[in-house]
Amino acid sequence: MKKYTPGPWAIVTGQGWRNAAIRPIVMGQQSQHTLARILPNDDCEANARLIAAAPELLEALKGLLADISEYQTINNLGGENNHWQVIARAVIAKAESVK
């Protein structure tokens, strides 16, 4: 897996949402390195917020999946391949795969 730029990521809106960009936070400061530019449209603010939250969402999903799996194992419950766990593993693989 290639390593992605670690979070947190910030939204930079120079001239409002028309020129929004996503930049990493490095040692408490916004980096000048731009990870993504958000195209101006009706959904640009929502898209920017979702992209900026991506690193934390991935870590939260991995943590929740690990906790659920541990709980199932400790309590001998089975069900490791339930619908949402299968989807969670697929999403994690999609985020971490190298093409």
For residue range 30-72, list pLDDT tens digits in order.
888 899 999 888 888 999 999 999 999 999 999 999 999 999 9
pTM for the structure as a whole: 0.83
Within the chain, what is the greatest distance between any pair of CA atoms? 55
For residue range 2-34, list pLDDT tens digits in order.
678 888 999 998 777 778 899 999 888 888 889
Per-domain boundaries in the chain: 9-96
Which secondary-structure segment (H or E) carries 47? helix 44-74
> What's residue 85's pLDDT?
93
Yes or no: say if 21 and 34 are a contact pair by the CB < 8 Å rule.
Answer: yes
Tokens for 35, please give them.
Answer: 């990870």
Whether 1 has a pLDDT exceeding 60, the answer reads no
> What's residue 98's pLDDT?
62
> What's residue 15's pLDDT?
75
